[in-house]
Every structure is written in structure tokens, then in C-alpha cells.
């Protein structure tokens, strides 16, 4: 049970300046430059982090390469790596509330969601991959009996990971945990506006016994640190969650350097499809609202397109608007808050521009404005826009804010056409009593995950990844190891 008094005590503490973690040491930027960390809760400076340079990134990469080549981690027995990773997970769990509060002050997620989705999710992910690594076997190929053909799984080497600001610990763990479990070394670049918790768990990794150089964290701007990682000849695999334009740039960097493999999760414009025969409209309203408005809509799989069968469209929109009125938007460190802050003023301005542009074509049923401006924080009303054409920008582009575009449909086929009618294919949902229809929709919708009569909830046991311009490769589940392990054939003449 979370305790408000304890949360308030942690929230009142000063936050020490951040530092890179390179080769097992806290380091400032090579040129001494710093970046202010602006809290979205009040618009004030919370602390500073190093403004990383190309030199800093190259030092971290060189450290990771040395650590990999000398085998201090990669050549440990899998069971030994498992023990260390489990100790790391225990330390994160012991510091979970501290990490959750620190993260909320840094990126604005409401504390009730952040506690579960950030440190506790990271703990579960690390434990999952730690337990899995000594259970992955090689293969013996069924070939000529005069030959022994073995298939080994070998770590790829140095992994570069670039993660976003919405769920830095959760998404960071999705990438770092399987990479480390497989025996790789890692260089992680957090988002400029959400670095603090990742720096802290890197310190805990050292405390747990992960050797220096095996897990490095470099803060700074993507155009500097991220570019250096992308162009490095010593990064073997690059994994990224973020925007499409940046993902394209990383692919270009790969082509210009060592042709490193690049795995991308580039967001979505996920359709949440409600048929008239949905089992429980009240439940569908509640879950759909949380599926777009929690964390101020800053969720990669957010159900930002709400497709509602015309027969129930008006009723559903009315119920949704009424539910939104019960949601408390405000201080994310207050346990009664339903939705927290937008991560930055830049993101808030972008959200509001999308709504302003939509007013000319659609109708803003509720919301659409900045609120609590007197706090200095970045807060926005949950916003419902109706009268949206499937081709409108608000129905095609990822807003990444608390804004849902409502689109009516008349038939199953039309719902599928609208659902598939964007460049994205990350997630979707279908609400229906008809089991046959549910299976038809799962097959027809082009998305990496399709929810049925729910939205959200898949745990680490199943993969997440997109199709089309939502990216390639998968985080979570045993399939994540595919990115971090090479297949090596041994062909032995007997």
C-alpha cells in the first residue's frame, strides 16, 4: 500500500545532480556542460544532468567494448549472471518508492501508475530474463551422421539502447535486461527529460555486482549522444523507442557506419474499436478512458482513435465525457490523481496545436485546454474530439497527449479499413460479445497486439512490437533475446 506521507517526504528532498555512469564511475560531461532538469510538476529546475558529448559517448562505448572483449561478464556462467541480475532486481525493489517518486518529479506520471509501471515493472522484467538465461539451449541439427552440427547462441557484443521519457524504467528494462542476461555490454542513453531514475538504477547495478563497463549510462541530447552511438563502429546492435524521424536517422547512421542492426519501436495511432454488442459499455468506457488519458496520454500503445459503431456512438461519447469529468488531473504525487502532467512545455504546446487544428473539422466535446497554469506545471484537460474523418491529421498522426479522436463506423469491414488506414500498426482493441468476430478482427487488424474486451495489461511473457511504420523487432517475452544473441554454427566432421 502506498503511503501519502512517505511520498510527500521523498518529494520534499533535494535531488543531487546526475552524472554519467561510465566504466563503473560517476562522471560529469567531458567539457563540463550541464543541462537543467525541469520538473513538469511546477516548471522549476529540479537538478542538473551532464550535457553529454561525442567524447562521453565514445568513452562509454569503449568501456563497454573492453568489458565485452575481456569476458568479465560475457564469459561468466549463465547461472552466475542470473544471481547478479536477481540481486540487482532486489535492490531496485528495495528502493522502488524512492525511484517512483524521483521519476514522477522528472517526467510527470501519476504516482499510482508510476510505482507499478516503472520500478516494479523493471524488477519483474529483470527477474524474468535472469531466470530465463540458463534455460536457453543450443541445438543439434538433424544432418549427415558423419557430421556433428551444433547451433550456438552467442552474445552480439555491445548494445546501444536509446529510450524515451514516458516510461524510462519499464522500457529501459525491456531492452537492458535481456541484453545483459545474454552476456552483452550496454550503453544506455535516456531521454533528456527523464534520465534520473535510469542513472540511479545504474548505480544499483554496480552495487549488485555487475562489473564496471558492462552497463553504462550517458545523458545528453539525442543529436549528439544518440548520433555518436548510431555512427559508432563499436556498437553492434542499436535498440530504440521513440519517434519515426529519429528512427529513420538511426537507420541512416547504421548505413554510414558498420551496418549495425537497428531495432525500432516508433509509436502508434492505435484503434480502439467498440461494437454495439460490447459486453459492458460502462466497463468499455472506463477502460477506454484509462487507455488514452492515464499518464496524460503519453503511452506508445494508447488507444488514441476510438472507433464506435454508429448505433451506440452518441451514447458511448456521452458516457465517456461523463467519466472524464470524474477524472482528477493534477499533482501526480497525490495518490488521488487520475492523470498527471505532460512531460514538457514543448509536448504540451504540440498537443494543444493538434486540438486547435481539429476544431475546424471536428467538435471538441470536452477538454482541449491547458489547466493549472498557476502551478507552473504542464497540465492538460483530457480531450474528446468527435466528427473526425479518418483522414484528418488528428486521426492519422500520433499526438502523444490526452486527446482521443472518435470516429463512427457502420460495419465490421469499415471498422477494419479505418483501423488499418494509418501508417502505424502497434496496438489495437476490439470490444464485442461475438467470439467469431473477435477472431476475425484479430486476423484482419495489422497490429503487434490486439486486445479483446480490455485495453492494456499484457505482461513480460508476451512480445510487443509493431508492423508498418511502428517499427520492427520485439521487446518482452523470450523473443526479445533474438535481438541480443547471434546464431553460430559449428560444423564438425566426425
Residues carrying an active site annotation: 265
Do residues 66 and 356 make contact, with C-beta atoms less than 8 angstroms apart?
A: no
Distance CA 120, CA 104 (A): 14
* Neighbour tally for 9: CB within 10 Å: 11
Cell of 136: 536457453
Q: Which one, of 81, 471, 12, lies nearest residue 250 by Cα?
A: 471
Helix H or strand E segment including 140: strand 139-140
How far apart CA 231 and CA 61 sit, in angstroms, is 11
Pair 192, 219: CB distance under 8 Å: yes
Cell triple for 195: 534520465
CB 146 within 8 A of CB 490: no
Measured in whole angstroms, how far is the alpha carbon of residue 383 from the centre of its chain? 23
As a whole number of Å, the end-to-end CA separation of the chain is: 62
Question: What is the per-residue DSSP string for 317-337?
Answer: HHHHHHHHHH--BS-TTSTT-
Give me the half-sphere count of Cα atoms (radius 13 Å) on the Cβ side of residue 285: 20
Amino acid at each position: 500500500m502506498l503511503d501519502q506521507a512517505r511520498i510527500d517526504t521523498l518529494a520534499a528532498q533535494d535531488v543531487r545532480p546526475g552524472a554519467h555512469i561510465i566504466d563503473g564511475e560517476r562522471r560529469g560531461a567531458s567539457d563540463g556542460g550541464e543541462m537543467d532538469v525541469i520538473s513538469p510538476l511546477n516548471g522549476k529546475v529540479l537538478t542538473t544532468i551532464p550535457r553529454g558529448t561525442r567524447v562521453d559517448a565514445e568513452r562509454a562505448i569503449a568501456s563497454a567494448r573492453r568489458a565485452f572483449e575481456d569476458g568479465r561478464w560475457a564469459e561468466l556462467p549463465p547461472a552466475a549472471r542470473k544471481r547478479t541480475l536477481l540481486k540487482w532486481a532486489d535492490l531496485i525493489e528495495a528502493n522502488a518508492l524512492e525511484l517512483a517518486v524521483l521519476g514522477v518529479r522528472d517526467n510527470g506520471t501519476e504516482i499510482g501508475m508510476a510505482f507499478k509501471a516503472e520500478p516494479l515493472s523493471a524488477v519483474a522484467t529483470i527477474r524474468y530474463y535472469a531466470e530465463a538465461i540458463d534455460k536457453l539451449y543450443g541445438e543439434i541439427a538433424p544432418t549427415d551422421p558423419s557430421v556433428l552440427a551444433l547451433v550456438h547462441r552467442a552474445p552480439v557484443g555491445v548494445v546501444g539502447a536509446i529510450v524515451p521519457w514516458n516510461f524510462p524504467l519499464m522500457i529501459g528494462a525491456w531492452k537492458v535486461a535481456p541484453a545483459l542476461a545474454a552476456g552483452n555490454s550496454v550503453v544506455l542513453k535516456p531521454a533528456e527529460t527523464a534520465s534520473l531514475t535510469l542513472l540511479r538504477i545504474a548505480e544499483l547495478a554496480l552495487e549488485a555486482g555487475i562489473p564496471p563497463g558492462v552497463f553504462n549510462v550517458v545523458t545528453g541530447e539525442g543529436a549528439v549522444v544518440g548520433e555518436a552511438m548510431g555512427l559508432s563502429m563499436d556498437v553492434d546492435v542499436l535498440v530504440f523507442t521513440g519517434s519515426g524521424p529519429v528512427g529513420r536517422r538511426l537507420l541512416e547512421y547504421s548505413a554510414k557506419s558498420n551496418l549495425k542492426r537497428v531495432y525500432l519501436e516508433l509509436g502508434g495511432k492505435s484503434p480502439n474499436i467498440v461494437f454495439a454488442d460490447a459486453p459492458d459499455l460502462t466497463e468499455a468506457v472506463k477502460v477506454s478512458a484509462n487507455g488514452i488519458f492515464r499518464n496524460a496520454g503519453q503511452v506508445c500503445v494508447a488507444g488514441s482513435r476510438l472507433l464506435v459503431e454508429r448505433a451506440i456512438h452518441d451514447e458511448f461519447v456521452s458516457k465517456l465525457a461523463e467519466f472524464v469529468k470524474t477524472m482528477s488531473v493534477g499533482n501526480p504525487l497525490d495518490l488521488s490523481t487520475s492523470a498527471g502532467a505532460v512531460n514538457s512545455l514543448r509536448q504540451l504546446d504540440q498537443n494543444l496545436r493538434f486540438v486547435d487544428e481539429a476544431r475546424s473539422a471536428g467538435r471538441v466535446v470536452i477538454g482541449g485546454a491547458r489547466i493549472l497554469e498557476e502551478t507552473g506545471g504542464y497540465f492538460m484537460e483530457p480531450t474528446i474530439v468527435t466528427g473526425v474523418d479518418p483522414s484528418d491529421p488528428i486521426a492519422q498522426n500520433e499526438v502523444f497527449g490526452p486527446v482521443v479522436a472518435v470516429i463512427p463506423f457502420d460495419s465490421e469491414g469499415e471498422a477494419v479499413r479505418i483501423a488499418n488506414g494509418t501508417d502505424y500498426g502497434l496496438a489495437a482493441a476490439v470490444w464485442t460479445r461475438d467470439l467469431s468476430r473477435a477472431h476475425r478482427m484479430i486476423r484482419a487488424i495489422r497490429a503487434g497486439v490486439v486486445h479483446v474486451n480490455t485495453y492494456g495489461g499484457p505482461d513480460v511473457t508476451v512480445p510487443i512490437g509493431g508492423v508498418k511504420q511502428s517499427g520492427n523487432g520485439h521487446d518482452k517475452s523470450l523473443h526479445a533475446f533474438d535481438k541480443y544473441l547471434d546464431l553460430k554454427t559449428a560444423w564438425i566432421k566426425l
